[in-house]
Amino acid sequence: MQPLTGEYNFTRLETVVYGPDKLNTLSHHLKRRGASRVMVVTTRTLGRSKLLDRVKAAIGDTLAGVFTETAQHAQSRTIEALIENARRVKADAFVSFGGGTPIDSAKVAAMVLLGGRMPRGMELYAQAADGERDFLHIAIPTTLSAAEFTPFAGATDEKTREKHGVGDPRLQPRVVILDPTVTTETPAWLWVGTGMRALDHAVEGAYSRRQNPVSNALAARAIALLVAHLKPSLSTSGEDEMYHRGQCQIAAWLSIFGGTNTRFGISHALGHQIGPMWDVPHGFTSCITLAHVMRFMADIAPGRFGPIAEGFGVRFDADNPRPGALECAERAARFIAGFEVPTRLRDVGVPEGELARIANTVLGEIRVAQTVDREVKHEELLALLKAAY
């Protein structure tokens, strides 16, 4: 037996606050970190919600502005407007409020404010910002996308409808406030879809060739929590609902906590391109692609499905791992099918004639991520897409 070797790197995340009404701690965390001109970054829907009033009240007299124009898949034109507004009010901190869209938009805007640039053209990730300046970001998520736990973000080029990324350690939100009371207005389809995205994080982190003991343990627990609590989080009320929603938030946190180490695989890469091209929420792309990718990975790295099997409660034989790995894929497919979500590419308007082009674009991201043990061939990816169609 070979001894374990590796390296685990932490992000600049300092504090995770979790539980009902923890939104009230926001002012404390802003003042503790010296913020004096705070801009809230959110969506139009939340901009019309009474929940935004709670966020503004929690910020207090350091509130400098509110930006409510972020758009799904973090469109570059809305991020450019955010940057302009942040400069106009001389913001020195962002409070992102919502799902992955405002959180990623705040990260990309911070990248530019720190001296970096928007990702353009064919590049997968923009060059890191120069200098040693910092820009405070506190995230208050209302979905389970878990974007708040990484220093990476994507932005969509409206001309090509392709998503490109930015990454810098300073883009990691310093504080994350997981308050289930601010998730009650999140539509059920969005809550479920982002829950499946969290499931995707946990699964792809576990079978990544970059997996590690910490991420494996967290992935197993994240899967178990989602299986146990996602459905009742939608069917209960009162304290029970807050309990189940809070457990789902913990699952999202655990699912991606080590993501900067493991990175993610084929399902994520497919979602990054399918989502913005046809305006499909990333959670729905996970509903469509995850089980198919798991079957593919069961042939490549079945031995790394142990944490996934633990999370789903599947019997797993490390000496003969492929049957257990395939059963994990079937469990994921059945779990997803238990919700009213799309499970085929045709269901979300992806043209069959575009599958080859999707495969071409995604291959580049897979090569950069280096999470699959061998080169993925175009014909293999195309076959996977046809199965998902």
Which residue type sits at 367? R
pLDDT digits (tens, 9 = 90+) for 67-78: 999 988 888 899
What does the alpha-carbon distance between residue 336 and residue 334 come to, in Å, rounded to a whole number?
5
Residue 154, H or E segment = strand 152-157
pLDDT digits (tens, 9 = 90+) for 128-149: 555 567 899 999 999 999 999 9
pLDDT the model gives residue 166 = 85
The answer to whether 97 touches 65, Cβ cutoff 8 Å, is: no
* Intervals of CATH 1.20.1090.10 along the chain: 188-388
Segment among 144-158, 241-255, 286-300 with least mean pLDDT: 144-158
What would the mean pLDDT of 90-108 be, rounded to a whole number? 96
The answer to whether 86 touches 62, Cβ cutoff 8 Å, is: no
pLDDT the model gives residue 124 = 45
Distance of CA 124 to the CA centre of its chain: 17
| Mean model confidence pLDDT for the chain | 94
pLDDT digits (tens, 9 = 90+) for 157-202: 777 777 778 888 999 999 999 999 999 999 999 999 999 999 999 9
pLDDT the model gives residue 155 = 84
pLDDT the model gives residue 122 = 40
CATH number of the domain located at residue range(s) 15-182 in this protein: 3.40.50.1970
Residue 123: pLDDT band with limits 50, 70, 90: very low
What does the alpha-carbon distance between residue 172 and residue 174 come to, in Å, rounded to a whole number?
6
Burial state string for 267-287 with b = 16 or more CB within 10 A and e = fewer than 16: bbbbbbbbbbbbebbbbbbbb
**Helices within 266-354 (DSSP H only):** 266-278, 282-300, 306-312, 321-337
What would the mean pLDDT of 6-34 be, rounded to a whole number? 97
pLDDT the model gives residue 156 = 83
pLDDT the model gives residue 39 = 98
The answer to whether 177 touches 136, Cβ cutoff 8 Å, is: no
What does the alpha-carbon distance between residue 177 and residue 153 come to, in Å, rounded to a whole number?
19
pLDDT the model gives residue 307 = 98
Question: For residue 232, which phi and psi values (nearest 5 degrees)?
Answer: -65, -20
DSSP state of 339: S
The answer to whether 144 touches 286, Cβ cutoff 8 Å, is: no
Segment among 5-14, 139-148, 161-170, 264-273 with least mean pLDDT: 161-170
pLDDT the model gives residue 276 = 87
The answer to whether 281 touches 288, Cβ cutoff 8 Å, is: no
Which residue type sits at 108? V
What does the alpha-carbon distance between residue 120 and residue 276 come to, in Å, rounded to a whole number?
15
What does the alpha-carbon distance between residue 225 and residue 171 come to, in Å, rounded to a whole number?
28
For 188-388, CATH number out of 1.10.1370.30, 3.30.365.10, 1.20.58.220, 1.20.1090.10 equals 1.20.1090.10
Segment among 16-30, 308-322, 349-363 with least mean pLDDT: 349-363
What would the mean pLDDT of 17-41 be, rounded to a whole number? 98
Q: With 60 as the cut, is the pLDDT of residue 268 above it?
A: yes
DSSP state of 117: -
Q: With 50 as the cut, is the pLDDT of residue 204 above it?
A: yes
What does the alpha-carbon distance between residue 378 and residue 373 come to, in Å, rounded to a whole number?
16
What does the alpha-carbon distance between residue 219 and residue 155 come to, in Å, rounded to a whole number?
27
Among residues 264, 308, 226, 274, the alpha carbon closest in space to that of 388 is found at 274
pLDDT digits (tens, 9 = 90+) for 159-171: 777 777 888 899 9
pLDDT digits (tens, 9 = 90+) for 343-381: 999 999 999 999 999 999 899 889 989 999 999 999 999
334 CB-side CA count, 13 A: 8
Partner residues linked to 57 by β-bridges: none
99 CB-side CA count, 13 A: 26
pLDDT the model gives residue 384 = 97
Q: Which residues contact 346 (CB under 8 A, 6 or more apart)?
A: 352, 389
What would the mean pLDDT of 253-263 be, rounded to a whole number? 94
Q: With 50 as the cut, is the pLDDT of residue 301 above it?
A: yes
Helices 378-388, 282-300: crossing angle, 10 deg rounding: 130
* Intervals of CATH 3.40.50.1970 along the chain: 15-182
Q: Which residues contact 371 (CB under 8 A, 6 or more apart)?
A: 204, 208, 209, 210, 262, 263, 264, 265
Q: With 70 as the cut, is the pLDDT of residue 266 above it?
A: yes
Query: What does the H/E/C string look like for 25-44?
Result: HHHHHHHHCCCCCEEEEEEH
What does the alpha-carbon distance between residue 289 and residue 365 come to, in Å, rounded to a whole number?
16
